[in-house]
Structure 1
Amino acid sequence: MKKILVTGGTVFLSRYIAEYYVSKGDSVYVLNRNTRLQSRGVKLIEVNRHHLQEKLKNMSFDVVIDVVAYNENDINDLLDGLGNFKQYIMISSSAVYPEYGSQPFKENSVLAKNKFWGKYGTDKIAAEKTLMQRVSDAYILRPPYLYGPMNNVYREAFVFDCAIDDRPFYLPKDGSMKLQFFHVKDLCRVIDFLIENKPVQHIFNVGNKEAITIKEWVEACYGVLNKKPKFINVYDNINQRKYFSFYDYEYYLDVTNQDTLISSTLSLEDGLKESYEWYIKNMDEVNKKPFIEFIDNNMSNKTNEL
């Protein structure tokens, strides 16, 4: 049994990670301000990471899994307040790679501002740099779009809503834009390997090996409900973030080095089934955006039907 500290622990990835390690029998502490419902089996440390004072100084952890480090202050304040720990794992983001870089992005690709992600990406870069300066043997994981149970971001849940109501799906252009996904369970499997094996490499891109077109992704989401979408292709100059879950930005990561950690990943079909099973029981936990309202109010007679 390991003693694990998870920052956050109440929303999507941090919550999933906390519950994953509770289910494995580990002693899981979550660090948050206690403004949301806590997961069963975790041990709450109720504090703001920026005002830790002596809260953690007399505690020790086998592993710190930092899910909610968004900038260098987040890293510095947590490290300044921590007592003893053996291993530090930070969940970063593929947003650290600039949109103009050569793809697929490799771990040693240039890091710079991405015009789609802006400050979020540059802050993650600063957080990574600060962590490696202070904890040279820390691990950093850079995932693409994460999905799975507990996802409170309106991505697959939006498509599920359209499928539930038998709505046609408004698809940006011809739907050929590709995206890369990674199931939260697979991310936990990668973390398992880092904890148990401590590989020499310390920064990893993680994700499914194959990118998928947004049309295929929507079809897969509808397929969970045994339905097929009727597409309406949107070619007009409408900001797709008004009616679709993703930026008009195609990217993918080179995850070759991930093969040394896990040999396979969950199929998109099985992963989306898990997402849907969770969603139909927890719809109120998703931060829904007004995509459907925008479509109904603004997009009639401005599309081509397929």
Structure 2
Amino acid sequence: MREALQGKHFDVVIDKIAYCSNDIRYVMDYVDCDKYIYMSSTSVYNPKHMNTVESDFDGYSKDFVWCDRKEFPYEQIKRQAEYALWQKYPGKNWIAVRYPFAIGKDDYTKRLLFYVEHVIKSEPMYIDNIDYQMSYIRSDEAGEFIAYLVDKDVKGAINGSASETISLREVINYIEEKTGKCAALSEQGEAAPYNGEPEYSINTDKAEKTGYRFSNFKRLDI
């Protein structure tokens, strides 16, 4: 990272692969840029809840540690990454964009595809939060919003999310309607990827004040 970054100036750096505090350090210690945009996660909120706002996570609330990706669970290393930004680089011009689960055709995690395939194949699945309303964002829109922020006067944390929540039951009902198949729900079925998530929504008032408007999943025919 030192060899790649030193001796160059960048107007904007968009970092979509940093996970932990060491990832942040390896960029921030060597990069010369006017603005640094980091793709964070709503997993930093503990807990997420309805109308989760940016101030629900305090970047100064706890001591951070320099850590690598495999040292802690995902949500902990993402918090440590933000702790590093807030506590070690307060003088830098940075934005932390917090996204919920990103879903779309290019979602490499294939979490949404789990529900689609299980319905189509009538394979039993266990879902422990089927009626919880939760926030998501389209994967392409996640990229668009970060690009939108390049020339906007925004600093610190900012949430990004589809404008309404949706439940997994609504998602499954949609899949059933489109495929003509019926979901097989069973406590003995394969555990679904979004199990354990609470009911929550992500407040995007700060983003919308900049003029950005997020799409609404419930009004899309995809």
- The TM-score by the shorter chain falls in which range? 0.7 to 0.9
Residue of structure 1 in register with 2:36 after alignment: 88
Once the two structures are overlaid, the 10-residue window that deviates more, 52-61 or 104-113, is: 104-113
Which residue of structure 2 lines up, in the alignment, with residue 137 of structure 1? 93
Show CA shifts across 1:239-288 (max 9, x none). Answer: x8x421212222222222222241231535748x4xxxxxxxxxxxxxxx
Displacement, 1:124? 1.4
Question: Is the 1:218–1:229 Cα contact (8 Å) retained in structure 2?
Answer: no
* 1:1-306 to 2 correspondences below 5 Å: 52-82=1-31, 84-99=32-47, 103-110=50-57, 119-132=73-86, 133-134=88-89, 135-165=91-121, 167=122, 170=125, 172=127, 175-199=130-154, 201-223=155-177, 226-234=178-186, 236=187, 242-250=190-198, 251-261=200-210, 262-265=212-215, 267=217, 270=220, 273=222
**Residues 228 and 269 (structure 1), Cα distance of their counterparts in 2 relative to 1, 3 Å cut:** farther
Relative distance call for 1:219 and 1:269 in structure 2 (3 A) is farther
Q: Which runs of 5+ in 2 are unaligned?
A: 63-71
Letter in 1 for 2:111: R
SS of equivalent residue, structure 2 residue 84: helix
SS in 2 for 1:141: strand
Post-superposition shift, 1:143? 0.7
The code of the aligned residue for 2:143 comes to C
Structure 1 length-normalised TM: 0.59
Alpha-carbon separation, structure 2, partners of 1:62 and 1:191? 14
Q: Distance in 1 between matches of 2:129 and 2:201?
A: 19
Question: Could you report, residue by residue, the CA deviation over 1:136-168 in whole angstroms, capped at 9, with x for unpaired residues?
Answer: 320011111111132111212222323444x26
Question: Which has the higher Rg, Structure 1 or Structure 2?
Answer: 1
Q: Distance in 1 between matches of 2:217 and 2:129?
A: 24
CA distance in 2, matches of 1:228, 1:169: 16
State how far apart, in whole Å, the 2-side matches of 1:160 and 1:103 are.
26
Q: Partners in 2 of 1:263 and 1:209 — Cα distance?
A: 8
- Post-superposition offset of 1:204: 1.0
CA distance in 2, matches of 1:144, 1:81: 29
TM-score of the aligned structures, taking structure 2 as reference length: 0.79
1:229–1:215 CA distance, 2 compared to 1 (3 A): farther
Aligned to 2:79, the other structure's residue is in SS state helix
Given that 1:148 and 1:184 are in contact with CA atoms closer than 8 Å, whether structure 2 keeps it comes out as: yes
